Amino acid sequence: MARRATRAWATRRRIETLSTEHDGTVLCVRIGGLLLTGGESRRLGFAKHEVRVHGERLADRSARVLAHACDPVREVGPGVTDLVAVREDPPGSGPLAALHAGADALRIDGHDGPVILLAVDLPFVDERLLGWLAAHPASGSVVPRVAGAAQSVCARFAPSALMTASELVAAGVRSMHALLDEIEITYVDEADWGVACDARAFTDIDTPQDLAALEQQRRQ
């Protein structure tokens, strides 16, 4: 029984982070997760979520690592994982619309806390990086940067940012850059996220050349 209780506590710690209120009270905040699977794959030639890493589809791998760090978790896309799926409107309209749709679904289900947004085409993202993002002490959104470029589809968004995303989508905006321009963000560079991963973690798969490079790295 003690072992079971310890395991349950450890699981809770993976999906909660600490928040300090103005009066000094320390609260546990649950981190939701949104997996984006609805992006177009024109240059790759087939659905990115079907790419296999060590025999496992990216869709299944991404859902697994996200669920390790977050709860509740939803897929935003056509329903290619075992996660509960919702769709952005219209389908394929980009990550901002997907963030809005996913956050709205989580809110309806009772989660009004921060969320980690993860694109399905990041084969080197793992539990350690997502756990680090979930536990980051910043009160607002946390967005990694690689060589100065914001990695907005592997990032943590605060509740206020999710509301801003909804407002932008309602106004017809579709750009994630527009969201980043509007919200409070703690940008984290390699000196910060380097404790959890290397820059390869943010490498995505967009083209056959990217896929060939992935295969080559796996053989090394």
Domains along the chain with CATH numbers:
30-219 (3.90.550.10)
Instruction: Among 39-48, 78-87, 104-113, name the one with the lowest average pLDDT.
Output: 39-48
Residue pLDDT, tens place only, 50-104: 788 788 899 999 999 999 999 999 999 999 999 999 999 999 899 999 999 999 9
Burial bucket for residue 218 (CB in 10 Å: 0-12, 13-18, 19+) = exposed
Asked if residues 19 and 57 have their Cβ atoms less than 8 Å apart, the reply is no
3-state helix, strand, coil in the chain (%, to 5): 40, 20, 40
Fill in the DSSP letter of residue 20. E
Confidence check: pLDDT of 3 > 50: no
Location of structure tokens 């649950």: 30
User: What is the CA angle 137-29-23, rounded to 5?
Assistant: 70
Residue pLDDT, tens place only, 130-149: 999 999 999 999 999 999 99
* Range 206-219 average pLDDT: 67
Residue pLDDT, tens place only, 164-208: 999 999 999 999 999 999 999 999 999 999 999 999 899 887 766
pLDDT at 160: 98
What is the DSSP secondary-structure string of 128-163?
A: HHHHHHHH---SSEEEEEETTEE-TTEEEE-HHHHH
Asked if residues 40 and 2 have their Cβ atoms less than 8 Å apart, the reply is no
Dist. CA 166–CA 169, nearest whole Å: 5
